[in-house]
Structures are given as C-alpha cells and as structure tokens.
C-alpha cells in the first residue's frame, strides 16, 4: 500500500515580519574572511615583534660584553697603580 500523503507538497510556514533576517552563508563567508584577515595581520605583527625582540637581545648581549670588557680594563688599570 502506498502512502500518497508523503508526496503531497508541504504548506509554507507563516513568517513573522518582525523577526530578524535568517543568517545565510554569505554572511558566514564574510565573517570568515574578516577573521582570516585579522589572523594574518596578527601573524605578521607577531613575526615583526619576534624579530624586534631578537634584535634587542643581540644588542643587549653586545652591550653587556662591551661593558664587561670595559670593567675588566678599568679594574686592571686600578690594580697596576
């Protein structure tokens, strides 16, 4: 026995005119692109800051070595007198 009611077209739901619009895939795609752009900007900034920190660490090491050698030199001069 076949069930004819399963092939019948369904009635449309009544839509509330005051309801907010339903989300669509275009909005999700737009948000995804914005989020991807933000992540890329953060990645670029992170890379820049890592390079800056490495540069400042090298500078600190060089200054520390210079001051250490200067301190040793001054100490030797004082001892020689």
Give the residue with greater pLDDT, 26 vs 71.
71
HEC profile of the chain: CCCHHHHCCCCCCCCCCCCCCCCCHHHHHHHHHHHHHHHHHHHHHHHHHHHHHHHHHHHHHHHHHHHHHHHHHHHHHHHHC
For the chain, the domains span 24-80
pLDDT score, position 39: 96
Angle (CA) 30-31-36 rounded to 5° is 100
Instruction: Decide if pLDDT at 54 tops 70.
Output: yes
Paired tokens of 80:
């020689």
pLDDT score, position 8: 77
Paired tokens of 61:
């090491």
- 21-53 pLDDT, tens digit each: 777 778 888 889 999 999 999 999 999 999 999
């Amino acid at each position: 026995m076949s069930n004819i009611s399963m092939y019948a077209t369904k009635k449309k739901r009544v839509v509330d005119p005051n309801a907010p619009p339903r989300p669509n895939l275009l909005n999700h795609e737009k948000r995804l692109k914005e989020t991807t752009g933000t992540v890329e900007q953060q990645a670029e900034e992170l890379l820049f800051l890592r390079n800056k920190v490495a540069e400042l660490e090298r500078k600190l090491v060089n200054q520390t070595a210079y001051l250490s050698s200067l301190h040793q030199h001054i100490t030797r001069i004082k001892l020689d007198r």
